[in-house]
Structure 1
Amino acid sequence: MRRVLLVGVLLLALALGVGGGYYVGDYLDVPQQTNSGAAAPLGEVSPSGTPSPTPTEPSLPVKSPIPNNLEPLETGLEYSEHDFTVTPKDERSVQLSIEVPRGWRLKKDPERPAEVKYLDRLEERGVRVEAVEPAGKTPAEEMAQLIVDLKKSQAPQNDVRVVSKTEDVITGNDGEPRSVATLVYTYIPRETLRYVVVRWIAINGQLTTVEMSITGLPQDADGLAEVLERASTSVSEVG
């Protein structure tokens, strides 16, 4: 059984007023379908033998995002390599290595031993790393499934829009080719438009062994792309 390294590179949705940090775009915890609008009134009583029409909830308008004027995530960041250990449920512990921007601090949640996070000073951006198994789909298949899941999990007013979907081959730090599929989309989970990049990587063979998610603001696109590439080429299992 092939071990899957599930790597989420995620940006915190809101730095203010959210205790413990709230990661939007963390599709790994797929958002549940939200109910929109108020409860519909009961239908009128109909004569015997005539079915009452099924009441439906009114559709909410697509959200108008409130601009976030945070300065863009810079490019040309300095990176450092980190080794850490995670323990997937009912599985052996796994030691992983990844490169993240220098100065981002480690954060662990005792209720989620399969993952760690590296957060920037403001906790606006971060890298989330999780180990799970087994590998069962190609990067392209994983991408296609997420597109379906997004349509099911996000309310229409959140305005999910696929920006691009690509397949490519990159070279890891080990010098070996890695097949990847990359999905970029935007949506409005609360008030601000979020920019999300998801990448699936087949480190060995054709099946996905690494999955990465990066979420931020539209103005962060260049910086997020840089973090994605460093994480994509450096992530590996060690020990």
Structure 2
Amino acid sequence: MLTPRHQALLMTLAGMTVGVAVFGTVVAVNGGNPFTAHDTPVGLVSPTPSSTPSRGDGLQADGLQYVVQNFGTGDDPVSAEVPAGWKSAQGGTRPKFLDSTGVWQLRFDTRGSQQSPEQLVANRERSIDEPGLKVLSRDGGTLIYTYTDKSRGPRMGLSRWISLDNGKTSAVEITVGGRPQDEAGLRAVLQHATETIKLPVSDGDDRPN
């Protein structure tokens, strides 16, 4: 778990498994682009209330708007952009954001792990105890699956683990959930969160197993 011993610095996540050591700088996210150093910390930004748009019977990627949400701890601040109108259900190192209907959700786990994204994908797949589980993909540190919820019916989950050291360990988990017909929108939310998340850089390795 990130502790107060960590430097309150930020790092860009370039892709899902790019490893880099950064000290004394703040790095902003530019998905797929080279790392860019900056000298400003994450600022506190108040989200603007808005409804989450949808068309037809699914979450539409092209209609989503995003706002910055701040979470983590005072010593280890984290921020990411989430869909406008999705409200925080819990904060800290494991924040969750839900739309007004509760159909769609976005969850972060910033505690990190000593296990690789591939190991965590396999662990999550084994741990899901839901009827009708079907794994659609387990590539690139991302698990995509569907199952049937007893009360809500067919559901889809996308869980991604991001590494900062060439896949040796995992720095953060990002999970989105919804229905199978929401796949395009869920993929967009997951990718946008991946590209915009800003994490403190640890000065030691005290992540859980």
TM-score, reference length from structure 2: 0.61
Distance in 2 (alpha carbons) for counterparts of 1:84 and 1:114: 7
> Deviation at 1:138?
1.1
Identify unmatched segments of 5+ residues in structure 2: 4-55, 202-209
Counterpart selection for 1:117 from 91, 96, 116: 96
Q: Deviations over 1:125-182 (max 9, x none)?
A: 222233324x2111111112222223xxx26xx1111111212xxxxxxxxxxxxx11
Rg larger for: 1
Is 1:74 matched with 2:60? Answer: yes
1:137 aligns with 2:130: no
Counterpart of 2:143? 183
> In structure 2, how many angstroms separate the alpha carbons of the residues matched to 1:228 and 1:103?
16
Distance, in Å, in 2 between the alignment partners of 1:166 and 1:126 is 22
Gap change, CA 1:2 and 1:238, over 3 Å in 2: closer
Structure 1 position 203 matched with structure 2 position 164: yes
Q: What corresponds to 1:83 in structure 2?
A: 70
Identical aligned residues as a percent: 27
Q: Which whole-Å CA distance do the structure 1 matches of 2:157 and 2:71 have between them?
A: 25
**Shift of residue 71, structure 1, vs aligned partner:** 2.5
Q: Cα distance 1:116–1:86, how it changes in 2: closer, same or farther (>3 A)? A: farther
Q: Which residue is 2:84 aligned to? A: 102
Stretches of structure 1 lacking an aligned partner (at least 5 in a row): 4-69, 88-92, 168-180
| 2:203 counterpart of 1:234 | no
1:163 corresponding residue in structure 2:
136
Q: 1:97·1:238 contact (CA, 8 Å) conserved in 2?
A: no
| Aligned pairs (5 A) from 1:44-59 | none
Query: Which amino acid in 2 is paired with 1:146?
Result: R
CA distance in 2, matches of 1:85, 1:144: 26
Partner of 1:128: 107
Counterparts of residues 21-32 of structure 1 (less than 5 Å): none
1:212 aligns with 2:174: yes
How many residue pairs align between the two structures?
146
Deviation at 1:102, TM superposition (A): 1.8
Secondary structure in 2 matching 1:148: helix
Please report how far the alpha carbon of residue 205 of structure 1 lies from its aligned counterpart in structure 2 after TM superposition: 4.0
Alpha-carbon distance in 2 for matches of 1:200, 1:209: 7
Query: Which amino acid letter does the alignment assign opposite residue 124 of structure 1?
Result: V
Q: Partner letter of residue 194 of structure 1?
A: R
1:86–1:131 CA contact under 8 A, matched in 2: no
Could you tell me how far 1:105 is from its partner in structure 2?
A: 2.4
